[in-house]
Amino acid sequence: MAVVNPSSLFTKALSGGYAIGAFNVNNMEIVQGIMLAARQEESPVILQVSAGARTYAGPAYIRKLIEAAVEENPEIPIVLHLDHGQNFEICKECIDNGFTSVMIDGSHLPFEENISLTKRVVEYAKEKGVFVEAELGQLAGIEEDVQAEHSVFTDPAQAKEFVERTGCNSLAIAIGTSHGAYKFSGEPKLDFERLEQIIALLPNFPLVLHGASSVPKTFVEEANTYGGNIGDATGIPEEFLRKAATTNICKINIDTDIRLAMTASIRKYLAEHPQEFDPRSYLKPARQAVFSMVAHKMRDVLGSSHTI
């Protein structure tokens, strides 16, 4: 009973035409909500931990929460993944502490520097049997600076060269998604043509989509109804994600939707129960909201239900 390396899960996802959800975890209720969904949907799952999550909860608490998830769900393949590792040291620390997968994010660096940093992590991870996700191209910027759109998207030829030279196990690409709740100021759009070009040059290679929350209107409206001010939030339409999941995109990252689901639920609960002050009273429906959202993603968007 242990966390697993995602390699064989991705091989299966590639041939099966589905993607595995990578959900960001920060506390117990989030881990529990995701695991309830994975169990109901009989889906593998990637629990990913950002540097911010490690700072918030503490690395030991995070590790122990994942350990509990594994113990409670022996039948579910669970990957423990470092999200957006910014340097060699954090990747090494996670590799040395039981992570089965790490992301080295050198996407902000010049091409050659991204290659050498990624290579260094790959060499270390390989010895320990740990999977390495790298990134080429930059996510942010499309809504603020249309001019930058093409220069930051992943170049297909560079992607091929990058994968060959680094030996990374999967690649996060930029085709129009972005992090957070405000992804588009106009019409949502993903560059599927570019995705196809990347796939043609890297056949059978696992690709990753970051910034893939869909920012459901119901969560935004619920949060705003009960005192929030989330504004004009827009995510990736779920039909885009469904389409992406049938291609070589085999890992789809979701964090913002978890935040929205929990916050909307907590705002509603507290507004309707102003006398309540037991944290369990509002964290319980919040955990349930995470469960429902994640189960829906697995079943209707990622297509990973019943693939164990």
Report, as residue numbers or ranges, the catalytic residues: 83
Q: How far is the CB of 271 from Zn ion (least distance, A)?
A: 31
Binding mask 207-226 for ligand 13P (x = CB under 6 A): ---xxxx-------------
Q: How far is the CB of 217 from ligand G3H (least distance, A)?
A: 20
Question: Taking CB under 5 A as the rule, does residue 39 contact Zn ion?
Answer: no
Instruction: Specify the stretch interacting with ligand G3H by CB under 6 A; choose among 49-57, 100-108, 165-173, 227-235.
Output: 49-57
Give, in degrees to the nearest 5, the angle at Cα 148 between 147 and 149: 95
Instruction: Specify the stretch interacting with Zn ion by CB under 5 A; choose among 194-202, 204-212, 224-232, 296-304.
Output: 204-212
Question: Taking CB under 6 A as the rule, does residue 29 contact ligand 13P?
Answer: no
Closer residue to ligand 13P, CB minimum distance, 228 or 284: 228
Exactly one of 100, 166, 253, 305 binds ligand 13P (CB under 6 A); which one? 253
Instruction: Specify the stretch interacting with ligand G3H by CB under 6 A; choose among 47-55, 60-68, 88-96, 157-165.
Output: 47-55
Exactly one of 3, 6, 13, 24 binds ligand G3H (CB under 6 A); which one? 24
Closer residue to ligand 13P, CB minimum distance, 29 or 105: 105
Closer residue to Zn ion, CB minimum distance, 39 or 210: 210
| Contacted by 212, from ligand G3H, Zn ion, ligand 13P, none: CB < 5 to 8 Å by type | ligand 13P
Site of interaction with ligand G3H (CB under 6 A): 24, 50, 52-53, 83-84, 179, 255
